[in-house]
A and B are shown apart, each in its own frame.
Chain A
Amino acid sequence: MTQKRTQENFLWHIRARQVPARALSVVYTFCLGGISFLAFVVLAVTGVLLMFHYQPGYSDGYHSVLNLASVIPYGAVLRNLHYWAGQIMVITVALHMVRVVWTQSYRPPRELNWVVGVSLLVITIILDFSGYLLRGSQESGAAATVAVHILQLVPGIGVGLAAAFFGHPTALSGSTLMIYVWHCVALPSVAFYLQGYHFWRVRKDGGIKPL
């Protein structure tokens, strides 16, 4: 690998030149960050595919999910992959945080990456929750109603914040265009860039084995 190539390609750039031997042990990380990223990739691919048949909206949301799960060829596979990858990601991200605390990897020089990681945890949870709302079922309507009311409690900006994030879900369906855009475009893009930065900082701060 020439020096030039190293500089040109981000993928080469992110591969560590040296790794501490201790960090090469699987038990040190349990690959939890890597599994989370893998789940994110699965979610992105299946999510884009689901968008071809999903329609947000008061009654369209629920019916398009029913269509996907029942009559559209391979729709059920994609929907279930998306669902389970989402569940797994929430769990592995949380366990990843526990591991980082356990190995004390939040300490200097890694404080910044800890903050980035916690932001990613919050985004992951919001993504998971908004996905639950987009199913458009009655439970999702109830969940959306609770969330809207909690958010509205924020003094001053709460009402505006709730309108901007949730739109106007009804008690019978949480599927709105607002949540759809946040769930499919805005939050995943932020998560994607933060993850790139997170991985790059891992290298910068001393490195860990790639999955």
Chain B
Amino acid sequence: MEDENSVLTRRNLLRIGWVSIIASGLLSLWPLSQYLTSSEDSLQSDIITLKISPLIGNQWYHIENTRVWLKRAGQGYAAILATCTHLGCEVAYNSSQQKWFCPCHGSVYNAEGTPIAGPAPRDLARVAVKAVNDTLIVNIGKVVGMDRQIL
């Protein structure tokens, strides 16, 4: 049945198929191990520490890679969580307008984090912050009231 002169016999074609199945299986081992060992979605520690910097003034200052913004308040510091109280999108502070804006459904908060427009039902959460020597320790797991924000 098979044509002797043909390079691509049925047998060869099937062999190529098998080899490529095995090869792609082996090639996917590394990506698979990356996927299975990823801890990107696991809970991270609630404690954020950083050096006190002169950048933290009377305007909210964003701490990289977190949702925490800090500013000087009275004798100490205030920490606020930039998580919209509507559905949890990350809000950003616009220092020229002195307002927080949510990109998702248009909630607007004033500088103190009280909603003034949009669907947001509550104030942005304040969390505990403490200055120890030249370090600030923020505990994003500990929500505090507006009045107790300065530690």
Contact = CB atoms under 8 A, between A and B. Distances in A.
A155 to B, nearest CB: 37
A53 B41 contact: yes
A72 B31 contact: no
Contact of A75 (B35, B87, B88): B35
B35 A74 contact: yes
A62 B55 CA distance: 35
A77 B38 CA distance: 15
Nearest to A75: B35
Interface string A49-85: 1001100000100001001100111110110000000
B31 A67 contact: no
A77 B36 CA distance: 13
Interface in A171-211: 172
Nearest to A52: B36
Contact of A67 (B36, B40, B87): B40
Name the residue among A49, A71, A73, A77 with the largest chain B CB count within 10 angstroms.
A73
Name the residue among A49, A72, A77 with the largest chain B CB count within 10 angstroms.
A72
Contact of A73 (B38, B87, B88): B38
A73 B41 contact: no
B38 A53 contact: yes
A44 B32 CA distance: 15
Nearest to B28: A74
Interface string A146-187: 000000000000000000000000001000000000000000
A77 B40 CA distance: 16
Interface string A69-103: 00111110110000000000000000000000000
A74 B38 CA distance: 10
B37 to A, nearest CB: 9
Interface residues of B, number: 10
A52 B34 CA distance: 12
B34 A74 contact: yes
Given A64-B41, A67-B40, A72-B40, A59 B88 contact: yes
B121 to A, nearest CB: 13
Contacts of B88: 59
A49 B41 contact: no
B107 to A, nearest CB: 16
Nearest to A78: B35
A52 to B, nearest CB: 6
Contacts of B35: 49, 52-53, 72-75, 78
Contact of B34 (A64, A68, A73): A73
A71 B32 CA distance: 15
13 contacts: A49-B36, A52-B36, A53-B38, A53-B41, A59-B88, A67-B40, A67-B41, A71-B38, A71-B41, A73-B35, A74-B32, A74-B34, A78-B35
Interface of A: 49, 52-53, 59, 64, 67-68, 71-75, 77-78, 172
Interface of B: 31-32, 34-36, 38, 40-41, 87-88
Given A52-B36, A53-B35, A78-B35, 5 more contacts: A67-B40, A67-B41, A72-B35, A73-B35, A75-B35
A-B pairs, top 6 by smallest CB distance, nearest first, are A73-B34, A67-B41, A71-B40, A74-B35, A74-B31, A72-B38
